[in-house]
Amino acid sequence: MMNEKKPLITSGICQAHCPTRWCCSVQCFVPVPVYPEQIQTIEQFSGKKDFYEKTGSDYTLKTRENQYCIFFDDQKKECSIYPVRPFDCLIYPFDFYAKGNEGWWLVWDCPYSQRLSPDHSEQILTYFETHYAQEFFRIWDYANDSIDPDNPEGFRMLRKMNLTPYFR
């Protein structure tokens, strides 16, 4: 299971410093892409089946009328499937923009990312690049042209992704 890898994002920091949790709503980045193995894992963890839909050639988690992800717990204000959350959620508040075979890192300008030093941020990006290459490629097409790099709306552009050694 992918969560056996330990990204360097401090667990619980969002609960402590962010009152909105917009990252789990359409105001930020849902619908979230999921791929078949993740669907299976989430099914087993949540006991639910009807939580995703086909979006073009991809699958995404459903959202609710209040615009939050189907797995966002409104009472606790947290993810109800956190240990098995999709890859896109796992790397958040980092995200990426892909064009053809090239990708660029972005970060959502949230209370957590504003506290990250450039060194810590770089450490996290390098970790993701060396441990999650396969996962990036699974959602690569979904990220293709998903963000306007000239107007990333709430994101800060970081640097070009270094996935060359792993690229298909």
The contact set with ligand SF4 (CB under 6 A) reads 24, 30, 32, 61, 69, 71-72, 79, 81, 85-86, 89
CB of 63 to ligand SF4, least distance (A): 9
Q: What is the largest CA-CA distance in the chain?
A: 44
CB of 106 to ligand SF4, least distance (A): 17
Tokens of 8: 């360097």
CB of 58 to ligand SF4, least distance (A): 15
Q: Toward ligand SF4, which CB reaches closer, 86 or 93?
A: 86
Helix (H, G, I), strand (E, B) or coil at 27: coil
Indicate the burial class of 152 (C-beta count within 10 angstroms; 0-12, 13-18, 19 or more): middle
Q: Toward ligand SF4, which CB reaches closer, 70 or 161?
A: 70
Alpha carbons 80 and 98: distance in angstroms, whole number: 29
Q: Toward ligand SF4, which CB reaches closer, 24 or 143?
A: 24
Helix (H, G, I), strand (E, B) or coil at 156: strand
